[in-house]
Structure 1
Amino acid sequence: MTTLSSIILTCLAGGLLSVACAAFFALNARVSWIPTLISYAIGALLGAVFLEILPHAFEAASSVENMAATVLVGILVFFVLEKLVLWRHCHGDHCEVHAPDEHHGHSHAHAHGADHAHDHGRSGMMIMIGDTFHNFVDGILIAAAFMLDVKLGMVTALAIIAHEIPQEVGDFLILLHSGYSKKKALLFNLLSSLATLLGGLIAYFALQTVEAWIPTILGLAAASMIYVAVADLIPGLHKRTELKATLQQVLLIGLGVSSILLVKLLLE
């Protein structure tokens, strides 16, 4: 299979799969499953970063120091972007932006336009705009990864799909809450997921000419995944301190990492 057809297939399958799963969860209203999904997503994100993306990024980079600096700058940039989003959404001291069961995207930073918090005053449209941009960036990451190595592309796509599902579920529930019909919410989510394909295609044709950028894009992708896992998702897990919940979270995070490891081994 050519690199281009791999990118097209993966972006399409990823988008449709995460929307289908989101619709299934949201329509069956198993909100209690979201924290479970999030624990798994944390493992998948961190597994993809440390077992696949970073090793490849370091390998392709001109120097290890430059790549480490890229990741550091990326994490700081995502921190500042998230601050800007929080400033925009918070009035006064009372600000409960991070709902425990909700995860606002691994907002590949620039995507942070849509912070998927329980802020139902904001229209579902705002969420869709941010989510569409976020999906577009996912497409670019998938393409960059595939162009460096097919195995890396598969693992990156898997990590993206794994953490897209809880985020899409959150979006879906907010759209329903904002007064959209189930049909409309599903349609919007589907249209938004097509942005992944668009990002993948644009990146494929543009990155051909700027292959030197691929390591940097991978470094920034790693930074955004680390930031989302550690800053956005893990704090939500700390809200449940009882031993049973903690063990369940540790197990699920381990499962997320293992699934990335398994895919890596299968692809080798």
Structure 2
Amino acid sequence: MAPGRAVAGLLLLAAAGIGGTAAGPGLAFSEDVLSLFGANRSLSAAQLARLLEQLGAAPAEGVAEQGQLHFNQCLSAEEIFSLHGFSNTTQISSSNFSVICPAVLQQLNFHPCEDRPKHKTKPNISEVWGYGFLSVTIINLASLLGLVLTPLIKKSYFPKILTFFVGLAIGTLFSNAIFQLIPEAFGFNPKSDNYVEKAVAVFGGFYVLFFFERVLKMLLKAYGQNDHTHFSNDDFGPSREKTHQPKTLPAINGVTCYANPAVTEPNGHIHFDNVSVVSLQDGKTESSSCTCLKGPKLSKIGTIAWMVTLSDALHNFIDGLAIGASCTLSLLQGLSTSIAILCEEFPHELGDFVILLSAGMSTRQALLFNFLSACSCYVGLAFGILVGNNFAPNIIFALAGGMFLYISLADMVRN
């Protein structure tokens, strides 16, 4: 007996009395069926399909069941033949007709080929807009998490915290591009394409080489043979004398600045314990590790700040698209999408805030531009609701993924 035959089919077979040998009344019944639907006391796959159609157990046209055949699937005549080891050209005689009877009876009893209407009600338009805007507002509050860092800016241990969050931003941007944006741009399905393992390999290949390079530099430096360093000879002069008391720098454009001598360098670089976090483009020593109360001119802010703001706005726009399209299908799906985006935005926005600070922005400027980029999520939400799930922003996914890779690898890792 074929392994795909259901227990229910066996019960129906026993109740019908056609199990065992095809003899006596059972043989007569089989011959009646074969003479009615077959030819020459045999039944082909096409004739079996006509039998299923007469019984109301035939699959609808264009309906294809994927995966392994089992008792609760809608089976075509060819699939019943294949399930029992017969080819499509086989002629079923009365002697082996009882072999396929359980499958026919099962299709007739369970009605798996019937189209059962799914009564799914979509949320009304007011619920979609209301819950969508609520979700985006909660997500955008993550962009204000930088406020918790404001009291720590003048502390002596703030450079270490800054370095940690810059690393957090690198990991978030890089992993977001590799695991989410670029696969979405190519239209990969994580359940069928198995791209996650390949993305992990890309991620691991980068960090293995990066770790090897760092270890090699440490070994060469220990033996005094490191000729590839971020520091010049002047960096290790008397000016490297550390003190943990902040000092006031001369006023620049009428704005008071504070500098930590532990991170002030004469060549215009900011150094945190032998790690260069950001290079100031103007090269002025007065602006080293400088936190201004009112904020510098926008022209004095590093280019990386604007790149982060722009790419983050694109990313938030895409997040809004996903939330809007999900909410139009069901509120539960919109909620699950919003929770996933919130978990990703929590470290992302915090890391972006620290990048803006390290690029030369004041606290107020960093909060303002970080929040403005987050507000693009509202635009994406509106577009996603209006267009629904018929829009595939593959080009935007690819563009944002490329920007995230460039920022994390070209601009941030070297610092």
Provide the TM-score with structure 2 as the length reference.
0.32
Larger radius of gyration: 2
Q: Normalising by structure 1, report the TM-score.
A: 0.47
Higher helix share: 1
Structure number with greater CO (CA < 8 Å, separation at least 6) is 1
